[in-house]
Amino acid sequence: MRRIEPKTKESLVKLNNVFLNENELKYIRSIQIKKSQKQLHLPHSHLVEILKKRKSDRGTFQNCKLDEILSIIEFVSAHEEYYPTPIAGNLDFLDILVFEPKNSLFRILNVSQDSCDGNFDDDKLLSYLKKAIKRPEYTGSSGIYIFFMLSLDRVTCKYGALSIPLAYTTLGCLIQNVTLLLSEKNFLSCIHFGEIDYFTMQYKESEYTLPCFLRVGKNEI
């Protein structure tokens, strides 16, 4: 793997405010408190209970194991028996990188083919991952990180101008599936956008964009 600099500055998405400031965090928390006090009359079902548990959490997490998260992600990958995430054109363009900073371990899973590559000896990528997860809005520590990798070139060759909305719709469906399964297994998670700098990576002769990641863990005991 290697870091690739963007070809032109015009191709970058400019973000005026990458991180949440303290006032924004207070506003989000106040909205969450108001919503928690509102009585909802929802039909009783297992799915509703899962939805109730799903919330963003930036606190301190209990350490969890890499294999625990990998086993959950396997359920949202394509299988012969079922196809849980709709993938644009059934193209192979979306992978997941799971990073455990405590032991400097990561795995890459292919969502459309249900395959997993082992750990890599890649100091440059590890250095980037450790830098990317240092966020000022975190109030806690620990956790495992799930990075989503898009190979947009593979979509563009088939769908042209429609590639971006199709790719990010697929990504949204995948993230929803992952967060719901995490909630069902009593994990907490929070999604983070806006990388510190524009980042693409080369993996198996393909260029990937990493637009966002999830921080995952369990309540501190």
178 occurs within a structural domain:
yes
126 occurs within a structural domain:
yes
SS3 of residue 8 by DSSP: coil
Which residues span the domain enclosing 104?
3-7+17-219
d(CA 131, CA 140): 16
Q: Which of 7-11, 60-64, 79-83, 129-133 has the lowest mean pLDDT?
A: 7-11
User: Residue 147: which residues within 8 A CB-CB, separation 6 or more?
Assistant: 96, 97, 98, 99, 129, 210, 212, 213
Read off the pLDDT of residues 44-89 as tens digits, 9 standing for 90 and up.
677 777 777 777 777 778 778 888 888 888 877 766 666 667 776 7
12 occurs within a structural domain:
no
Total structural domains in the chain?
1
30 occurs within a structural domain:
yes
152 occurs within a structural domain:
yes
69 occurs within a structural domain:
yes
Report the CATH number at residue 199.
Answer: 3.40.109.10
What is the full DSSP assignment across 195-214? Answer: -SS--EEEETTEEEE--EEE
Say what the pLDDT of residue 195 is. Answer: 55
Q: Which of 27-41, 85-99, 183-197 has the lowest mean pLDDT?
A: 27-41
DSSP run (H or E) holding 218? strand 212-219
176 occurs within a structural domain:
yes
189 occurs within a structural domain:
yes
